Structure 1
Amino acid sequence: GSQVSYDNASDEMPTQEEGMQMKEKDHTEEMEENVVPVEIETGEVMHPALVVSTSKAYKALFTKMRDVRTKSEDFVPYSKRAMRLLAEDALAEFPSQKITIQTPCGPCEGVKTLDPSEMCAVSIVRSGDALLESVRECLPGISVGKILIQRDESHPDKIPKLFYSKLPPNVQKKFVLLCDPMLATGGSAIMALDVLVVKYKISQHRIIFANMICAPEGIKAVGKAYPKIKIVTACIDSHLNDDKFIVPGLGDYGDRFFNTQE
């Protein structure tokens, strides 16, 4: 993904208030400038703010993760490696500011990222907890929130139900990374985003949704409900099957990661 930069008219660093205003302005502009993925067959826009992580490492890691023969004890380390890549790319999509630092050999241009105190990582329990831990490995000081949503497996559309949400104080002032490895129908993601936007009053442009593998149906559903919220994913798969699982996908991420398969 691309980094956001903030150029000030003078060489002086902006005040904290000015910096935040620039962050919000430029963050919104960056999302509008992203290349918009379209479906080749229909030309339909899947999502106005979708970023696909492009590390070459994913191909080999996903091969192991998708393989039905891969046991949980092997699935977990491959998954953690892939999630760490995704976590870094998703965090890199948040606002940053151009700075110049001094190396042992001379000056060098770089970027200053958000302080962890300005951010919050929120997991959709239970699968999202796995991705959340990779985010915390990148930023140990980040605050954490939890949203518990479960699909009604007896319903033909696998409709989601909200059971619990707990977020840090003043979360509406933070930049939020929502974590869930799989985006299938989009039902759980939209419900979680409803919690963030409606209940906790978090501005859409402050939220990024990170997931490992997604289906076009889920991308379009989330894009229709929340077009200003950026999605960062590692892979767009083909479609959903009749059981609302991603194809080819990798099965139930939570069951495979937490070793609870029957």
Structure 2
Amino acid sequence: MGTPEEMHMGITKSKFQNLTEDIPNLKLLPSNDQIRLVIEESLNQLPFSKMDIVTPTGATYHGLKYERGNCGVSVIRSGEAMEQGLRDCCRSIRIGKILIESDAETHEARIVYARFPEDIAQRKVLLMYPIMSTGNTIIKAVNVLKEHHVLEENIILSNLFSTPMATKCVLTTFPQLKMLTSEIHQIAPNHFGQKYFGTD
């Protein structure tokens, strides 16, 4: 049994250590209610270079800039909730979209719509999907990106809540993909989209 703080996070420290040892490309962020913090940490995974800027006062500021060739891809509809956070950090970033639906009878995920930047194969991709219960939707989304010649290691999954099963399923299927999440819990809050968009 973990501490109350660990139990609040949804997974005990020992279980989390086992999970991260098995899946090194998983990064669990401190639990918070700010989507933008997950986006910011996802952006920290992108390549950057040093850059000097001369300020209006004539002083030189030693900063950093992102390398060219990044984009976001949101899984419609809940993934769109993360777009504003990405735009707040990177105003001019291009964002593609994927619409995935589950068949009512077979529950199999199928692609309904996909639109990406033409040169997405040369880009690093922030794949935005806040809630993962089974991992099926993300597996389908990553397969579509790979069909468009995006390298697995160039995909960063930005997520808020995931079940342990979904986390393990996605990262064992795609071991070179990076995943950032703020909470791993047996029960995913699937009402997130309805709450965010005010349609519940």
Match of 1:257 among 172, 196, 200: 196
Alignment pair present for 1:122 and 2:64: no
- 1:151 is matched by which residue type in structure 2? S
Instruction: Please list the CA deviations of residues 66-103 of structure 1 after superposition, one character each: whole Å capped at 9, or x if unmatched.
Output: xxxxxxxxxxxxxxxx1111111111111122455667
Alignment pair present for 1:164 and 2:117: no
- 2:85 is matched by which residue type in structure 1? S
1:51 aligns with: 27
TM-score (norm 2): 0.81
Q: Once the 2 structures are TM-superposed, how far is the Cα of residue 108 of structure 1 from its aligned partner?
A: 6.0
Alignment pair present for 1:111 and 2:59: no
Which shifted more, 122-131 or 159-168? 159-168
- 2:15 is matched by which residue type in structure 1? I
- State how far apart, in whole Å, the 1-side matches of 2:78 and 2:27 are: 21
- State how far apart, in whole Å, the 2-side matches of 1:99 and 1:133 are: 26
2:99 aligns with: 148
- 2:23 is matched by which residue type in structure 1? H
2:15 aligns with: 40
Percent identical across equivalent pairs?
29
User: Does the Cα contact within 8 Å between 1:146 and 1:167 map onto a contact in 2?
Assistant: yes
1:230 aligns with: 178
Q: Once the 2 structures are TM-superposed, how far is the Cα of residue 234 of structure 1 from its aligned partner?
A: 1.3
2:82 aligns with: 131
1:94 aligns with: 46
1:187 aligns with: 136
User: Does the Cα contact within 8 Å between 1:46 and 1:223 map onto a contact in 2?
Assistant: no
- State how far apart, in whole Å, the 2-side matches of 1:40 and 1:224 are: 17
User: Does the Cα contact within 8 Å between 2:79 and 2:128 map onto a contact in 1?
Assistant: yes
Q: Once the 2 structures are TM-superposed, how far is the Cα of residue 114 of structure 1 from its aligned partner?
A: 2.6
Cα RMSD of the aligned pairs, angstroms, is: 2.5
User: Does the Cα contact within 8 Å between 1:49 and 1:227 map onto a contact in 2?
Assistant: yes
Which shifted more, 209-218 or 129-138? 129-138
Instruction: Please list the CA deviations of residues 173-229 of structure 1 after superposition, one character each: whole Å capped at 9, or x if unmatched.
Output: 1111100011211000010000001x2001112110101111110111111111101
Q: Once the 2 structures are TM-superposed, how far is the Cα of residue 133 of structure 1 from its aligned partner?
A: 2.3
TM-score (norm 1): 0.63
Gaps of 5+ in 2: 1-12
Gaps of 5+ in 1: 1-37, 62-81, 240-246
- State how far apart, in whole Å, the 2-side matches of 1:105 and 1:170 are: 38
Q: 1:52 to 1:98 in 2, by over 3 A?
A: farther
User: Does the Cα contact within 8 Å between 2:131 and 2:190 map onto a contact in 1?
Assistant: no
- State how far apart, in whole Å, the 2-side matches of 1:206 and 1:256 are: 31
- State how far apart, in whole Å, the 1-side matches of 2:39 and 2:17 are: 31
- Please say which structure displays the higher CA radius of gyration: 1
Q: Once the 2 structures are TM-superposed, how far is the Cα of residue 53 of structure 1 from its aligned partner?
A: 2.1
Relative contact order higher in (CA < 8 Å, ≥ 6 apart): 2
Instruction: Please list the CA deviations of residues 13-60 of structure 1 after superposition, one character each: whole Å capped at 9, or x if unmatched.
Output: xxxxxxxxxxxxxxxxxxxxxxxxx963994545230112237xx1xx
1:75 aligns with: none
Match of 2:36 among 71, 80, 84: 84
